[in-house]
Amino acid sequence: RLELRCERDGADGAELRLDAHPALAVSRAALLPPPGGPGDAAGQALPVESRPFASYGSALHITLPQAPRAGQLLTLLIDYEAGEGPGVCWLSPEQTAGKQKPYMYTQGQAVLNRSFFPCFDTPSVKFTYSATVKVPEGFTAVMSATSWEKQKDNTFVFKMSQPIPSYLIALVVGDIVSADVGPRSRVWAEPCLIEAAKKEYDGVIEEFLVVGEKLFGPYVWGRYDILFMPPSFPFGGMENPCLTFVTPCLLAGDRSLVDVIIHEISHSWFGNLVTNATWGEFWLNEGFTMYAQRRISTEVYGLPYTCLEAATGRALLRQHMDATGEEHPLNKLRVVIEPGLWGVNPDDTYNETPYEKGYCFVSYLAHLVGNQSKFDAFLQAYVNRFKFQSITADDTLEFFLEYFPELKEKGVDSIPGFEFDRWLNTPGWPPYLPDLSPGQQLMRPAEELAELWAADSLNMEAIEAVDIMGWRTYQLVYFLDQVLQKSPLPEGNVKRLSKMYPKISKAQNAELRLRWCQIVLKNNLEAEYSKVKDFLHSQGKQKYTLPLYRAMWGGSEATRALAMETFSATAPQLHVNVQNYVKKILGLGGAE
C-alpha cells in the first residue's frame, strides 16, 4: 500500500509511474477511498501495465481516474508477487553457516528493491514504512526498522518512523538469534555464530556511537544492531538503518576488522540521514562516510593507525585506477548515469573512486578550513541542515561556502588545479592528497621489511631482527601490499616468507588471507594454490572474490584452470551480481 501526496499539479495527466521489475508480477492495482471517507474498502480497480524501462527494471504505468491536484493524498493498493528478482536472495541450507535451514535476505542498494516491491526506487525520495511479515515456524524475521514486535502465529510487525530512501528497506528471514552487546545494540546471527559475534563486538559499538554523536550530532535511529550474514553475502557491510548487515568475515576473533563497523556506523549520519539525490553523486554518501569513519578512528585508535588504514585505502584507489586507466569516466566524482534501456546500471558503477577520491575531496575542504574543530562543527551543521533530505553536490558545496563566507570571498572554489568543478567532473587521481605522514612510524618498518624480502639474497639476520608479532592487522596488510607490489619476488623467497610467518600464511583474518592469496598467485607458488581455493570456498564477498579471479585469469595456464575449477564449484553459493562479474572476468559471457 502506497500513501502518496501529489507535490504539484502535473501536465502529465492521470498516470502514475513506479519502478518495478519483470520478475515482479502485479495482479491488481486499486485506488483506496480516503481514510474514514465513503467508498468501497476494496478500492476502485485501476488499469496497470508493465513497460520496459532499463536493463535493471521496468516501469509500472498505473492509470488514475483523474489527474490529482497539488497537495492531494492518494492511497494505492497493489497486489503483487515477488521473489525471483535480483533484490531478493534465497540461500539453500548449504549456503548458510549452520547448513541446516534455508535463509533469505534482500539487498536494495543501488536499484534492486524495485524487484522486491513497486516504489519510487530513487534515493531522491524518502518515506516511512511499516510491514507485517509471516514466516514459518523455526524462523525469525528482522527488518531495517525502528520498532520490531513479534505477534502470534510467527508474525512480525515492523515500523520505520524516520523517512528513508527505498534502497535502505531490508528484510532477513532465517534461523537467527540475538545477543545484547550494549545499551542500544545487539548482534544477530545464526546460532552457531552468535557466541563469536557477541565476543567480538561486546561493548565496542557503544564506544563508536558515542564518539560519532560527539562529532556529528545525535544518533536519530534509536537502536544500532548488527546482523552477521551468511558467508555468501557479497559486501563487507550494508548500512541498513537500525540493522547493519555485515559479512561474517568480520569475525576475525581479535577485533581487528572493526573499522568496517565504524564505516557503517558513520553512514548513520552520512548516507542514511543526508543522502545523495542521485547515484551519479555516490561520493556524497561514501566520501563523507570515509572521512567520518577516519575521524572516529582517530579519536578511538589515534592518528598513526588511522593514517595507516587510509594509506591502504589509497593503495586500493591506485590499484583501481591502474586497472581502469585514470581517464576512465568512472574515475570522476560526478558520474553521468543515463536512464533508459541502453543506460548504465548504477550497480555497475560501484568502485573505489567515490570512497577514496571522495575522501580526498572532503579532506581538501577540511584543509581549506585549516582547523579541525571548525571543520567538525561544519559537519555537524551540514548534517543538521540537510537531515532527512536528499541533496546534490551543488547543495553541499554551496552550503560549505555559505558556512565559511571568508573562504567564499577568497574564491576557494576556483583555485587553479583544485577547482570544485575539476574535482567533480575531471577523471583521474585526486588533485589533493591528505598528509598521511603520521602513519610513517607504522609504515616505515613494514616498507623496510618488504625491501628485505624482495632482495636477491635474503639477509636473514636483518629479517629475524624484526618482530611482527605485535603488529596490528593494517600494519600487516600494508606490509603485504608492499610485497605484492614487488612481486614476483626472487625464486624461493615467498616460500621462505610463508614458512617464517605462519601468522600471515595461515591467517584466518580475511584481509590477510586476500593479500596472501594474491601474493601466492603473483609468485606462482603452486604449493599454496589450495589456499586460494579454500578462501574462495569460504566466503563470497565481492571485494575479495573479484581481485582473485582477475589475478588467476591474468596468470598462467595452471591459475586459469584453478579459476575455472573454483568457479564451477562455488558459483551456486555466490550472489547473482558477483556470479555475473566473475563470468565476465573468465570470458563466460556474464554482465555487460
Tell me the binding residues.
107-109, 234-239, 263, 267, 286, 541-543
Q: Distance between the two ends of the chain, CA-based, in angstroms?
A: 35
Buried-state track 393-426, b at ≥16 Cβ within 10 A, e below 16: bebbbebbeebbeebeeeebbeeeebbbebbbee
Rounded to the nearest angstrom, the gap between the alpha carbon of residue 585 and the centroid of all alpha carbons in its chain is 22
**Cell 618498518 identifies what position?**
445
Three cell numbers written together for 202: 561486546
Known binding positions for Zn(2+) = 263, 267, 286
Q: Which residues, including other chains, have CB under 8 Å from residue 10's CB and lie 6 or more apart?
A: 67, 68
Buried-state track 427-458, b at ≥16 Cβ within 10 A, e below 16: beebbeebebebbeebbebbeebbebbbeeeb
CB 312 within 8 A of CB 381: no
Tell me 200's DSSP state.
Answer: H
CB 402 within 8 A of CB 265: no
At residue 560, φ and ψ (nearest 5 deg) are -65, -40
Say if residue 385 is exposed, middle or buried (CB neighbours under 10 Å; 0-12, 13-18, 19+): middle
Q: Which residues, including other chains, have CB under 8 Å from residue 328's CB and lie 6 or more apart?
A: 321, 427
**Cell 564477498 identifies what position?**
541
- 3-state SS of 113-161? HHHCCCECCCCCCEEEEEEEEECCCCCEEEECCCEEEEECCCEEEEEEE
CB 234 within 8 A of CB 575: yes
At residue 399, φ and ψ (nearest 5 deg) are -65, -40
- 3-state SS of 330-342? HHCCCCCCCCCCC
Rounded to the nearest angstrom, the gap between the alpha carbon of residue 425 and the centroid of all alpha carbons in its chain is 23
CB 507 within 8 A of CB 480: no
Tell me 230's DSSP state.
Answer: P
CB 34 within 8 A of CB 68: no
Alpha-carbon gap, residue 337 to 344, rounded angstroms: 6
Total residues belonging to the chain? 592
Element (H, E) at 169: none
Known binding positions for a peptide = 107-109, 234-239, 541-543
Give the residue numbers annotated as catalytic, written as ranges.
264, 355
Q: Which residues, including other chains, have CB under 8 Å from residue 320's CB and lie 6 or more apart?
A: 331, 351, 352, 353
CB 219 within 8 A of CB 265: no
Q: Count Cα atoms within 13 angstroms, Cβ side, for 186.
A: 9
